Amino acid sequence: MHSNASGQVAQTLIDRLQAMPKVEIHVHLEGAIDAETVYQMAQRNNFSLPAASLEEWKLFYKFRDFNHFIEVYGIASQCMQTAEDFAWMTEKFLQNQSEQNIRYSEAYFSPTLHSGKLTDEEILDALTLGAVTGEAKYGSRVKFIVDISRQYPHLQTKVLEFALQGQEKGIVIGLGIGGPEVDYPPENYTETFAQARMQGLRVVAHAGETEGPSSIWGAITSLQAERIGHGVRCLEDASLVAKLRQRQTPLEVSPQSNYCLGVVKPNEPHPIRQMIDAGLFCTLNSDDPPMFNTNLNNEYLTLANQGFSWEQLWQLNLNTLEATFLPEAEKEVYRTQWQAFLQS
């Protein structure tokens, strides 16, 4: 684990955070697959990995630095090839989520990473099969938010079409943008997002991670993003903080991702504390968990280790549930489960 671990946190709190029912709203399917599952897909597809054994591959998979992370992400994505792979990795994702008591996830999926492998329909049917099988086996659910890779602005219409087809099938609920923020401002995607909203897709945007406040302003004004991925750099602009506070726009905060990618310095407390103190609506997430040597439990532990109380961590868990795009009736079912846990 990066820079924190569970050093000073009482075992009872560690156990309670593990047992606590959770949801997660910022996690990338392709970035959430463990090294072993990727290894098995590579073997099945005769894809040659830069490692001679599973043990070597597991070491390679661990976070080192930004360039290595991009390399691992690229290789992992190339191992995902067949309909069976997409179904199986979705099922494995739900198994991992379930082991952390994550009952529901809104996961990002980036079709641009998989262009030329299968038809959109084949991929969407495979994701659906994996979601149905995984839910039946592990009792954890997933819906997808389709991410435009912002370095390929010319492909955004294709990504929207993929999202709309997935919406019809009931597996996709939203559209987002991810990838490099610098040089690819939200304004490039205004028209596509307007169409997505008109068609009933929920819209979100990665912003304020590697780029500053202007990117978040663009996301909320041009794209009308309902949630912001990361958003931590809003703190650089008091008027933006005021706007986000007034709107109570959920921010999808992922501390270990920020430490790994250098958005926050390794030995500094995470700015989520300042964000909460400023009245911002924060949620807690793991982003690309095995690639950042983390998982959602560890994100809660990271903050526990930085002095967050059980009540503060529970509030983040409640916030994350409220920030989901679930219909009100389904949210209410989870609220009841959350309350039952508190009283158990």
- Catalytically annotated residues: 209
The whole-angstrom distance between residue 274's C-alpha and the CA centroid of its chain comes to 22
Query: ∠ CA(298), CA(263), CA(318), 5° rounding?
Result: 45
Minimum distance from CB of 24 to Zn ion (Å)? 12
CA dihedral 317, 174, 204, 263 (to 10 degrees): 70
Q: Which is nearer to Zn ion, 211 or 287 (CB)?
A: 287
Instruction: Please name the amino acid found at residue 156.
Output: Q
Straight-line distance from the first to the last Cα atom of the chain, in angstroms, rounded to the nearest whole number: 30
Minimum distance from CB of 246 to Zn ion (Å)? 25
Is residue 21 within 8 A of residue 105, CB to CB? The reply is: no
Q: What is the distance between the alpha carbons of residues 282 and 292, in angstroms, rounded to a whole number? A: 20
Q: Which is nearer to Zn ion, 13 or 233 (CB)?
A: 233
Is residue 171 within 8 A of residue 130, CB to CB? The reply is: no
Q: How many CB atoms lie within 10 A of CB 70?
A: 12
Minimum distance from CB of 211 to Zn ion (Å)? 14
Burial class (CB in 10 A: 0-12, 13-18, 19+), 267: exposed
Closest chain position to Zn ion (CB):
287
Identify the DSSP state of 19: H
Q: Which is nearer to Zn ion, 100 or 256 (CB)?
A: 256
Minimum distance from CB of 44 to Zn ion (Å)? 27
Minimum distance from CB of 100 to Zn ion (Å)? 18
By the criterion CB under 5 A, which residues form the site for Zn ion? 287
Q: Which is nearer to Zn ion, 42 or 163 (CB)?
A: 163
Q: Which is nearer to Zn ion, 166 or 178 (CB)?
A: 178
Q: How many CB atoms lie within 10 A of CB 154?
A: 6
Sheet holding 172-178, edge to edge: 22-28, 102-109, 141-149, 172-178, 202-207, 227-230, 251-253, 282-284
Token pair of 11, please?
């075992």
Minimum distance from CB of 334 to Zn ion (Å)? 23
Q: Which is nearer to Zn ion, 39 or 144 (CB)?
A: 144
Q: What is the distance between the alpha carbons of residues 35 and 55, in angstroms, rounded to a whole number? A: 9
Q: What is the distance between the alpha carbons of residues 57 and 67, in angstroms, rounded to a whole number? A: 17
